[in-house]
Amino acid sequence: MPSLDWSDLDRFERGEFYRHSDSGETVQFVGVASVPELGGDDVGVFRFVQGGRCLIATKRGHGRGETFTPIAEYQEPDEATTAEWRAFVEGDEP
């Protein structure tokens, strides 16, 4: 699926995951909001999966080429998988 940007706000799906072009991080789409400080422009509201902070997608970001690529199948790793992977990378037995 092609990347989406601010001009595609009506095509984002609430709760779905996307790769943010500027940071390379995974974000989850929360919704659309109207911001009076931006002349009433609509913005996309996203939540970073790691850290939980928010990201606001604006017309200005769109002008810089900011995009969001849908992640078809996103699944957060569980603690057991994370521990096994860490042990593998560090060369220890789990």
* Residue 49 maps to a domain: yes
Residue 51 lies in domain: 6-90
Please count the structural domains in the chain.
1
**For the segment 7-32, what is each residue's pLDDT rounded down to a tens digit?**
888 899 999 999 999 999 999 999 99
Q: What is the CATH number of the domain that holds 39?
A: 2.30.30
* Residue 1 maps to a domain: no
What is d(CA 32, CA 36) in angstroms, rounded to the nearest whole number?
13
Supply the pLDDT for residue 94. Answer: 47
* Residue 81 maps to a domain: yes
Supply the pLDDT for residue 23. Answer: 92
**For the segment 53-82, what is each residue's pLDDT rounded down to a tens digit?**
999 999 888 888 999 999 876 555 555 555
**pTM of the predicted model, to two decimals?**
0.71
More confident residue, 50 or 86: 50
